[in-house]
A and B are shown apart, each in its own frame.
Chain A
């Protein structure tokens, strides 16, 4: 079945450590996105990528980094520079130019101890 796989589902890290969240899709979508969600809040865009080897900052990119070396993969690194990294992270993909349907993964919940 086609879809988006995020891993790990739950992650704990100590302050000062970098952590990388994985996002893989087998939908053959060109565009991929990372969102952050805090409790009781909506989603905020961190980074997005429309094609391989290209990505753009979203609204809250500070303290995060991404890469897009393969069409299927769009990993997100939460660096130690991110001051409040505890959150629910959601990866999504879409066919570039499609009429707006985003497909989301199940999310990764990061807790900084």
Chain B
């Protein structure tokens, strides 16, 4: 069952920041927000996850609103290799066997 809503596609210029939104208005207190991406015809790749605080790693930053009903994944300097489908997933810790990968957002990074 879909717990998240994402735009089907977005464009971003190479070198600019890509901001991918995700709505999860029914998120529960024990549920995390996870982001994965899938480059065409490959297996998905984990990007980042968070509960309520903003998170940053070498790949991206995750900004979660204070009410936790939405979040934004930020790729600070998008490259052509970041062109992929990005999945936003909400699920409880230790329950990842039930991950629901919806249709995601297709990010097109353009030169």
Binding site for B on A (CB under 8 A): 4, 31, 33, 35, 40-45, 48, 50, 56, 58, 88, 90, 92, 94, 97-107, 109
Interface residues on B, range: 20 to 34
A42 touching B97 in the complex, CB below 8 Å, given contacts A90-B43, A92-B43: no
C-alpha spacing A42/B46, complex, angstroms: 15
Q: B56 → chain A, closest Cβ, in Å?
A: 16
A107 touching B103 in the complex, CB below 8 Å, given contacts A48-B97, A50-B97: no
Interface secondary structure of A, over-half rule: strand
| Ranked 7 nearest A-B pairs via Cβ | A104-B43, A43-B101, A42-B101, A100-B96, A48-B97, A101-B46, A42-B102
Across the interface, do B97 and A104 meet the contact criterion of CB distance under 8 Å? Answer: no
Across the interface, do B44 and A43 meet the contact criterion of CB distance under 8 Å? Answer: yes
Q: B57 → chain A, closest Cβ, in Å?
A: 11
C-alpha spacing A41/B104, complex, angstroms: 9
- Flag the segment in B12-20, B58-66, B71-79, B87-95 that touches A: B87-95
